[in-house]
């Protein structure tokens, strides 16, 4: 990960420090993650991503963002936000497109994946962004094993990916 690269985790972390940024993130998470977190979200998908973000964000992250958006002072001591919650929420935001692609591929499509498939490359890339080196053959094996969760929600699929990456 380059020093200039801003991840989805940094977006959340920055929003927890800046009231205006927190307001922006709560108002339009797709725009903020696309602009500052390098998350690939089609502009036509902004409302879907907004709904998705509020479903996958941990309650402690949402509570912290809401508190920060209302105050320039330090967050109340009652608002404790673990780095794990920030990392998991950021990872799930970043895996939105990959999880959607897996849903589109479906269970039958998983069997056709190769080490050269775009979704395999995306998983390897996301692992690198979040500090985990993933070999393409290991990524392929993991993705082929996702068949059991593909019938579930986008957030559940993202959660499985982020558990594999080590952020949830």
pLDDT for 93-120, tens place per residue? 999 989 999 999 998 999 999 999 999 9
Q: How confident is the model at residue 135 (pLDDT cuts 50, 70, 90)?
A: very high
Residues comprising the chain, all counted: 168
Matching residue, tokens 């673990």: 82
Instruction: Return the CA Rg of the chain.
Output: 16
Q: Would you place residue 2 in the very low, low, confident or very high pLDDT band (cuts 50, 70, 90)?
A: very low
**Residue 74 in this model has a pLDDT that exceeds 70:** no
Give the model confidence (pLDDT) of 22-50 as tens digits.
Answer: 999 999 999 999 988 878 888 899 999 99
Query: With bands split at pLDDT 50, 70 and 90, how would you rate the model's confidence at 152?
Result: confident
What percent of the chain shows pLDDT beyond 70? Answer: 91
Q: What pTM value is reported for the model?
A: 0.80
CA 167 from centre of chain: 10
What per-residue confidence (pLDDT) applies to 79? Answer: 55
Q: Closest by alpha carbon to 100, among 56, 133, 36, 61?
A: 56
Nearest to 130 by CA among 102, 101, 89, 100: 89
- Nearest of 61, 72, 79 to residue 19 by alpha carbon: 72
């Amino acid at each position: 990960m380059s020093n200039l690269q801003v991840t989805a985790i940094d977006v959340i972390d920055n929003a927890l420090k800046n009231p205006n940024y927190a307001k922006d993130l709560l108002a339009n998470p797709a725009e903020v993650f696309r602009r500052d977190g390098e998350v690939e979200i089609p502009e036509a998908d902004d409302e879907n991503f907004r709904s998705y973000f509020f479903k996958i964000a941990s309650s402690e992250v949402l509570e912290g963002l809401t508190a920060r958006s209302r105050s320039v002072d330090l967050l109340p001591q009652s608002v404790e936000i673990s780095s794990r919650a920030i990392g998991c929420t950021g990872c799930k935001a970043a895996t939105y497109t990959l999880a959607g692609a897996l849903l589109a591929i479906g269970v039958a499509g998983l069997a056709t994946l190769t080490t050269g498939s775009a979704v395999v490359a995306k998983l390897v890339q996301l692992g690198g962004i979040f500090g985990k080196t993933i070999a393409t053959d290991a990524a392929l094996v993991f993705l082929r094993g996702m068949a059991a969760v593909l019938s579930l929600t986008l957030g559940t699929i993202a959660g499985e990916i982020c558990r594999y990456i080590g952020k949830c």
